[in-house]
Amino acid sequence: MTDTNTTTPAEDEYFDSATSEFPAKEDLNFRLVAIWNTGKTGTRKSEASGDSYSYVETVTLVLDDGPDDWYATNIKRMAIDGKGDPTTGTDDCLVPSVRLNGPQRLDDFQWSATGIYSRASKRKVGDKPMIGRINSKKNAKKGFSDAWSIAEMTEDDKVTARKYVGLFREISAEMQNKADSAAFE
C-alpha cells in the first residue's frame, strides 16, 4: 500500500487549495455589468432573519472598473453584528480589474437582491443580456443590509458596452445552446 499523504513540492504544483471566499455583489458595486439568466432559480433562508429569499443564477460579465477605477482592497462590505446593527469594513476585491485583465466573467453568479432578481429572473435564457451599473443605497429598515439594484446605462456606458458586442453574441449563443440541450434531456 502506498502512502497517499506525502507529497513533494513538485507535486504540489498540480493543485490549489479551495478558498472560503467567492465574489459577491460588493465586488461589483458601481461597475458596469451584463447579466444573462441561466434559467436556474432557488430559495434559501437568511442567516440574519431566518426569512426565505429567492435567487436567480446568472452569467455576469463585468465590463469596467467603475467610475473610481479598481482597487485591490478597500471594498466596503456590510455585515450585521450580534446586536442586529450594521457594521462596515474593508476586504479584498475578488473580481479582478477589467482595465488590467479584460472583461471578467462570473459563471453561476447568484443574484438575490430584489432590484436585480426581479429583473434578471424574468429574462429569457439565451436572450441578449441586461446591462447596467450595479448600485446600492442604505436600507430604510434598521439592521437590514443595503438595498442593491442595477441602474440604466448612460450614454458613456453604452459606448463601453459596444466594445463587447461580439462577446455578448458568443455568451448569448452559448446560453441558448445550453437551454436547447437541456430541453432534450
Q: 63 Cβ partners below 8 Å, 6+ apart?
A: 31, 32, 33, 34, 98, 103, 131, 160, 161, 164
Give mean pLDDT, residues 146-153.
91
| Residue 9, in any domain of the structure | no
pLDDT for 39: 93
Q: 39 Cβ partners below 8 Å, 6+ apart?
A: 57, 125, 179, 182
List, for residues 89-128, the tens digit of each pLDDT value: 556 788 999 999 999 999 999 999 888 999 999 999 989 9
| Residue 136, in any domain of the structure | yes
Which residue has better confidence, 45 or 184?
45
| Residue 5, in any domain of the structure | no
| Residue 26, in any domain of the structure | no
pLDDT at 6 over 70: no
**Whole domain around residue 109: which residue ranges?**
33-183
pLDDT at 181 over 50: yes
pLDDT for 49: 76
CA separation, residue 111 to residues 72, 75, 102, 149 (Å):
23, 18, 22, 10
User: Which residue, 170, 175, 167, is CA-closest to 63?
Assistant: 167
| Residue 10, in any domain of the structure | no
C-alpha cell at 74: 478597500
pLDDT at 183 over 70: no
User: Which residue, 116, 99, 133, is CA-closest to 58?
Assistant: 116
User: Which residue, 17, 20, 24, 166, is CA-closest to 106?
Assistant: 24
**pTM of this structure:** 0.77
Instruction: Find out whether 106 and 60 touch, Cβ atoms under 8 Å.
Output: yes
pLDDT at 86 over 50: no
| Residue 21, in any domain of the structure | no
| Residue 49, in any domain of the structure | yes
* Tally of structural domains, the chain: 1
| Residue 14, in any domain of the structure | no
pLDDT for 23: 86
Instruction: Find out whether 111 and 53 touch, Cβ atoms under 8 Å.
Output: no
End-to-end CA distance of the chain: 42
Q: Name the residue type at position 126.
A: G
List, for residues 23-81, the tens digit of each pLDDT value: 888 889 899 999 999 999 999 887 777 888 999 999 999 999 998 887 665 444 444 44
Instruction: Find out whether 60 and 120 touch, Cβ atoms under 8 Å.
Output: no
